[in-house]
Structure 1
Amino acid sequence: IKKEISPADESGISFNQVINTTYVPPPLSLLEGDRGKPGVGDIKANANIIKRTLGQYGITVEMDEVSIGPSVTRYALKPAEGVKLARIVGLQNELSYALAAHPIRIEAPIPGQSLVGIEVPNSTKTVVGLKTLFSSDEFQESHKPLLVALGRGVSGKLYYADLAKMPHVLIAGATGSGKSVTIHAVVNSLLYRNGPEAMRFIMIDPKRVELTLYNKIPHLLTPVITDAKKAILALKWAAKEMDRRYNILEAESVRDISSYHKNILEPALKLVGSGKGKGVGNKGRVLNANSQGPTLGADTDAGMPERMPYIVIILDELADIMQAYPRELESAIVRLAQMSRAVGIHLILSTQRPSVNVITGLIKANVPARVALQVSSQIDSRTILDASGAEKLLGAGDMLYISGELSKPTRIQSAFMSETEVKAVVKYLANMPTEGLPDTDEINLSSGSISNERDSIFSSSFDEEEAGNDDDDLYEDARLIVIEAGKASTSYLQRRLKVGYARAARLVDMLEERGVIGPGDGAKAREVLETPGSATE
């Protein structure tokens, strides 16, 4: 971290050093390190119990290394030749009984090794602190701006992941399994590495208690969203911003945002050099999604490219919004997930209801990185990971992590961040000097509709609800269409006007109220009472 804020030398300047010249991240003293020691019991006795129990069922094994992790101890063993691994996995309950430990998890084989791992819960856990993860050389010396700290593995290894490579992540688990704490760890990893000119957040928190703690940080594009309608509008804004950024990348002939920062932005900022206040003071202006004015990161001074910060969208409870607007939310997430990686827009989705109604096939296909915390059943585990195992986790941040780079789920103990630590970091960021940071107008989500384009993926019941009691702007088109056709039905208007069912149905109701068409008669098309050329009432 110190490296990122030190004065940049002309020879080997990194992305973070260029972007974060005015940003001093919060001190590590605000965070706590690891606390407590793992209670592992008698390791030799446990190893003998495992060997003896398997031997009773005709399976000869040779005990190998023992790895002590924060929440579990893994006993590695090498089976004799000709032993089917499925036989060892099938003896899970017998081993659990013999060791008097529940639940145990068997990894057969351990990825990259000719060994089988038996993971036994520790009687007492080590609390993994973020300070430990942030002070490691791997985190401090990395030049990846979106590197996030995941936690500590079974062998004691620290795990990090690059959000830019993920490029989107789904965090799911039962209530109380540690989802919110995992999200806090991810958010603070990004806050410790990026200033508001380099990365911005859109936070959506229908629960109103977790992410609202971050309301005062300068990284937010808009105050934390707690309303389902505004959440869809924010995703719509992100889709427009994505399209706009693709136009810029195309015009600059670069492949992605990192190439843009390296080849377009860095040379321009180097030229500005000592005159930091010149030409770079009015970036980051954002108007609402429908406006034609300045947009995120745009520079009003001629000749200076916009900074184009990363945008991280965090959606803390997918199920809550999915209940209200399932089609709109799924379409918005899938559109962003398919295309937004190259322009630096990343999604972090979270849910405590890992069912196929919430984590749909389309969402799973487009979000390759997944974190499964403790769940109640094997079915839920398969919904998240396409594999069992999450039902045998211990809760409190014990996770299985899988990404495009990992073929098998990896068990990690997530770092714990208390509410006191979160508030201390937020207080520091809220009070930090704003000189040299971009002036930012929040994106305006108080008005606007879900769809301005009739064929938009967002067109559905949502946009019509917002129209209130005012006349629909398509009413006159609908009136002329039914008069010309001599028939009227909801499905006919849907096809002709390319609108959702709810809007078409309301247009039919309005036409009936104003005497243009007759009342409904079962499945028959309605009679048109008004003739061509007659005036509207």
Structure 2
Amino acid sequence: IAALADDLALAMRAPSLRIVAPIPGKAAVGIEVPNPMPRMVHVRELIEGADYQRSTRALPIALGKNLEGDPVVADLTKMPHLLIAGVTGSGKSVCINTIITSLIYTHPPEKLKLLMIDPKMVELSMYAALPHLGLPVVTNHHKAASVLKWAVWEMDRRYRLLHANHARNIVDFNKKVEEKKPLKGPRETLATQAGIQKELPLDGEYIGGIFPYIVLIVDELADLMLTVQGEIETPLATLAQKARAIGIHLVLATQRPSVNVITGLIKANFPCRIAFRVSAKVDSRTILDQNGAETMLGNGDMLFLPPGKSALLRVQGAFISTDETERLMDWYKAHAAQAAAAGTSIDEQVAALEEREKAGEDAGEGGTGTPGERDSLFRQAAEVCIQNQLGSTSLLQRRMSIGYGRAARIIDQLELAGILGPANGSKPRDVLVGLEELDDICGST
């Protein structure tokens, strides 16, 4: 039957049609014919609808309406990440605007942080005044890579806190915070020989607030993959695999759904996808693993692959105009005093991460252990090792948030300075001095 699609379209004088054989749950074949007078779906009618208002979803997003005219509202935490593809003019950017509007409608800035990466520099710039932003909209490719690396660091930090407080996910942890239960700081563990886990001292009592949800939005993944693929592919895959339980979610969009952009590593970790109109069947198969997206009509017509299902759902995407978005931003500007953005700390942390990486690159491969050539973090690293009475590269990586190469160089410098003993297989190095002797070794540094 599907092979007769072109003949049926010719007979019905339709620009295109889609055959669903069979309709899921029914003993029938569906033939979808475009309506010559399409109806606009506004995001406001979805947000004001009963399905959205009565929703128990943690991060509800209003996508649009299905063929029967019923609203389609999804939960980003159940997806838990979303991949969007479509050619220019198909409705991809409007869909992103709708998702952002849906999220900020239900969550104040202290419960939701948005990290926006916009290599094209024009699509997301209108959200500059949004108090939910953890840092200004990122347009630089290398800073985008730093933001993704920061997200991995934040994910690891949250998991350590969950482990220290016996919480399963972000909901359990936030409930303990709201109930004002005493919470512990993260307890580090270090693998030693024979797989024995040596517990390190607690970092102290946790005195922070609840964990906000973090939604990281990338408007054009293709631009990043062309320039910094080596820096972003692994962090993206790591976040997609592990970040769900601690409240970090990804929304990636691209207008070129080729295998060079949507690699197998990325695709395998994004089970929930949206395809707008694409230019060829091969692009549809890349994003959805089946044909169909090439017959979409544009202007918000999409195929949605819901979480946990294999059957595609055809949806007319909700529309929000630029004027509506600007009025929304004007409202936030007018209430800026009450809703001051608390996201400067994220910007500072990302900047610190970039500085540490730059310092690691500047350090090069040298480092003889003499004071003039020691790493700027030499003394801090020495104190960490002495306090924990062991020295290892992995310890410095976790405690100081530095890369493997820099941590390894510092360990070598500590050995040459006589602070650490020689390497002993997979065991941590012995600490040879105490804090009182550190001043003599480091001098005035």
Cα deviation 1:403-424 (Å, max 9, x = unaligned): 3322211100100111001111
Deviation at 1:110, TM superposition (A): 1.1
Q: 1:112 aligns with which of 18, 25, 30?
A: 25
- Determine whether 1:354 maps to 2:257: yes
Q: Is 2:387 the counterpart of 1:475?
A: no
Distance in 2 between the 1:448 and 1:219 partners? Answer: 21
Deviations 1:419-440 (A, max 9, x none): 0011111111222254486744
- Sort the Cα spacing of 1:106 and 1:330 in 2 relative to 1 into closer, same or farther, 3 A: same
Aligned to 1:268: 180
SS of residue in 1 equivalent to 2:279 = coil
8 Å Cα contact 1:145-1:190 kept in structure 2: no
- Over 3 Å counting, the alpha-carbon distance change for 1:352 and 1:438 in structure 2 is closer
1:137 corresponds to which of 50, 54, 72: 50
Which of 331, 335, 347 is the matching residue for 2:234?
A: 331
Q: 1:467 to 1:433 in 2, by over 3 A?
A: closer
What residue is the counterpart of 2:139 in the other structure?
A: 226
What's the offset of the Cα at 1:475?
A: 2.4
**What is the RMSD of the two structures over their aligned residues, measured on CA atoms?**
2.5
| Letter of the structure 2 residue corresponding to residue 92 of structure 1 | A
Relative to the length of structure 1, the TM-score reads: 0.62
* Alignment map for 1:117-196 (pairs within 5 Å): 117-196=30-109
Q: Alignment partner of 2:58: what SS?
A: coil
What's the counterpart of residue 404 of structure 1?
Answer: 307
Take 2:140 and 2:327, find their aligned partners in 1: how far apart are those partners?
27
CA distance in 2, matches of 1:323, 1:100: 41
Q: Secondary structure at the match of 1:400?
A: strand
CA offsets per residue over residues 226-275 of structure 1, 9 Å max, x none? 0001100011111111001001111121111112223x033239x9xxxx
Please tell me the residue identity of whatever aligns with 1:394.
L
Residue pairs, 1:2-401, within 5 angstroms? 88-262=1-175, 264-268=176-180, 306-401=209-304
- In structure 2, relative to structure 1, the CA distance for the partners of 1:499 and 1:250 (3 Å cut) is closer
Question: CA separation in 1, counterparts of 2:288 and 2:135?
Answer: 32
Give the CA deviation at 1:474.
Answer: 2.3
1:144, distance to aligned residue in structure 2 (A): 2.2
TM-score by length of structure 2 reads: 0.74
CA deviation after TM superposition for structure 1 residue 473, in Å: 3.7
In the alignment, is the contact (CA less than 8 A) between 2:64 and 2:315 conserved in 1?
A: yes
Paired with 1:223 and 1:303, the residues of 2 have a C-alpha distance of 28
Spell out the pairing of 1:456-535 with structure 2 (5 A cutoff). Answer: 466=358, 471-476=362-367
Aligned length: 350
Mapped to 2, the partners of 1:365 and 1:440 lie a distance apart of 31
How far did 1:447 drift?
5.5
Distance in 1 (alpha carbons) for counterparts of 2:235 and 2:44: 36
Instruction: Indicate if the aligned counterparts of 2:19 and 2:29 stay in contact, CA closer than 8 A.
Output: yes
User: Following TM superposition, by how much is the alpha carbon of 1:220 offset from its aligned partner in structure 2, in angstroms?
Assistant: 0.5
Pair 1:410–1:439, CA change in 2 (3 A) = closer
Residues 154 and 203 (structure 1), Cα distance of their counterparts in 2 relative to 1, 3 Å cut: same
d(CA) in 1 for partners of 2:48 and 2:339?
27
- Answer whether contact 1:145 1:193 (CA < 8 A) is retained: no
Distance, in Å, in 2 between the alignment partners of 1:179 and 1:428 is 25
Maintained 8 Å contact 2:109/2:339:
no
| Structure 1 residue 120, shift from structure 2 partner | 0.6
Distance in 2, Cα, partners of 1:145 & 1:198: 11
Distance 1:245 1:206 in 2: 28
Amino acid at match of 2:80: P
Q: Once the 2 structures are TM-superposed, how far is the Cα of residue 307 of structure 1 from its aligned partner? A: 1.1
Equivalent position amino acid for 2:256 in 1: R
User: Are the aligned partners of 1:197 and 1:437 in contact in 2 as well (CA < 8 Å)?
Assistant: no
Give per-residue Cα distances to partners, 1:468-496, cap 9 Å, x unaligned. 9x853422469xxxxxxxxxxxxxxxxxx
Q: Is the 8 A contact 1:170 1:370 kept in 2?
A: yes
Change (3 A) 1:303 1:313: closer
| Aligned-partner Cα distance in 1 for 2:52–2:207 | 31
Ranges in structure 2 where 5+ consecutive residues have no aligned partner: 183-204, 370-402, 407-445
> Secondary structure, in 3 states, of the residue corresponding to 2:32?
strand
Contact 2:110–2:342 under 8 Å retained in 1: no
Equivalent residues of 1:249, 1:255 under 8 A apart: yes
Letter in 1 for 2:221: L
Counterpart secondary structure, 1:121: coil
Match of 1:9 in 2: none
Residue 34 of structure 1: aligned partner: none
Report SS of the residue matched to 1:381. Answer: helix
Amino acid of the residue matched to residue 221 of structure 1?
G
1:174 CA drift (Å)? 1.1
**CA–CA distance in structure 2, aligned partners of residues 435 and 127 of structure 1:** 35
Task: Classify the secondary structure of the residue corresponding to 1:268.
Answer: coil
Check whether the contact 2:64–2:73 (CA below 8 A) recurs between aligned residues.
yes
Instruction: Label 1:99 to 1:346 Cα distance change in 2 as closer, same or farther (>3 A).
Output: same
1:96·1:102 contact (CA, 8 Å) conserved in 2? yes
Note closer, same or farther for the CA distance 1:268–1:471 as it changes in structure 2 (3 Å cut). Answer: closer
Cα 1:471–1:342 change in 2 (3 A) is closer
Other structure's SS at 1:406 match: coil
| Structure 2 counterpart of 1:151, one-letter code | G
Give how far 1:304 is off. 5.2
